[in-house]
Amino acid sequence: MRYLYKFTGTKAKNPQPSSAPKQETQKAHRGLLALGTLFILLALCPNVSTAQAFDFWAQCSTGQNLCYKIISGTNNVALTYPDESTHSWNGYASNKPWGFMALPDSVLYNGTYYRVYGIVGNAFAHCTELTDVVIPRAMHYIDNYAFWDCPNLLSVVINSNEVASSMEWVMDNLRLAFGNQVKRYSFGSPVTEIGFYAFHSSTNLEEVSFAGPLHASAKMRSGTVLA
């Protein structure tokens, strides 16, 4: 049996980026000179590749090629973007994840199984063809803006209690992780509670469903679930 709840979000102002400080004229000139030198070097060395932000690629069960960064000293990995210099999929457009994507609990690399522990910010930003995402049980965190600017991502399934319960602050919630366009969140049976501000400012959200009864205190604490 699934439990279905309807609710509305609370609209809030999006944080505005702070303006960059003015630079001294001489520093600006030196920066332009260095940039020009870099362009000359790149022109002379056309085979220079962009810096990689990942340790390895692997294909998930739903067919997408994903980038993984090994967390130093552990058998855990984080999902990340491929290009370190731009923190994006710049230069890897043909490999951008698309459609229905089920993220794995673990991944095999060089004979070792790594637990998929988290998703860094911008890992899937601007993946405009993503429509559905399933978060696995073993995942522990999703950084803000992990799925920023994914306009067709309308449905998210969360099977991790750690992820659901971590949404505790106005500046740490599902909208900031997945975007405001999401219409449906579904929580698997491992989820027993959600963070206080999980659905804060999710103004386009239409429904939330649970595979089992959500812990009563979590329902009350969320302040978003209506009978």
pLDDT in tens, 20-68: 444 444 444 444 444 444 333 333 333 334 578 899 999 999 999 999 9
Q: What is the pLDDT of residue 43?
A: 37
Joined together, the tokens standing for residue 57 give 């690629």
Q: What is the pLDDT of residues 94-145, one digit of tens each?
A: 999 999 999 999 999 999 999 999 999 999 999 999 999 999 999 999 999 9
Joined together, the tokens standing for residue 218 give 């979590």
Q: What is the pLDDT of residue 25?
A: 43
CATH number corresponding to 3-8+46-222: 3.80.10.10
Better pLDDT: 182 or 44: 182
Asked if residue 146 lies in contact with residue 122, where contact means CB atoms within 8 angstroms, the answer is: yes
Better pLDDT: 59 or 193: 59
Asked if residue 115 lies in contact with residue 106, where contact means CB atoms within 8 angstroms, the answer is: yes
Helices (H), 71-211: 161-165, 174-178
Q: What is the pLDDT of residue 171?
A: 73
Distance, CA of 168 to CA of 144 (rounded, Å): 13
Using alpha carbons, select from 33, 189, 191 the residue that is nearest to residue 174: 191
Asked if residue 194 lies in contact with residue 165, where contact means CB atoms within 8 angstroms, the answer is: yes
Highest mean pLDDT (candidates 133-147, 157-171, 207-221): 133-147
Q: What is the pLDDT of residue 116?
A: 98
Q: What is the pLDDT of residue 211?
A: 83
Residue 215, judged by CB atoms within 10 A of its CB (0-12, 13-18, 19+), counts as middle
Q: What is the DSSP string of 213-224?
A: PPPHHHHHHHS-
Q: What is the pLDDT of residue 52?
A: 84
Model confidence at 195, pLDDT cuts 50, 70, 90, reads: confident
State the pTM of this model: 0.74
Q: Which residue type is seen at 160?
A: S
- Domain positions in the chain: 3-8+46-222
CA terminus-to-terminus distance, the chain: 17
Report whether pLDDT(167) > 80.
yes
Mean pLDDT of the 85-91 span: 91
Distance, CA of 114 to CA of 60 (rounded, Å): 13
Residue 215, CA distances (Å) to 165, 169, 176, 211 in order: 11, 19, 24, 12
Q: What is the pLDDT of residue 19?
A: 42
Distance, CA of 13 to CA of 2 (rounded, Å): 33
Dihedral, 104, 110, 114, 116 alpha carbons, nearest 10: -40
Q: What is the pLDDT of residues 3-32, one digit of tens each?
A: 565 554 444 334 344 444 444 444 444 444
Q: What is the pLDDT of residue 24?
A: 42
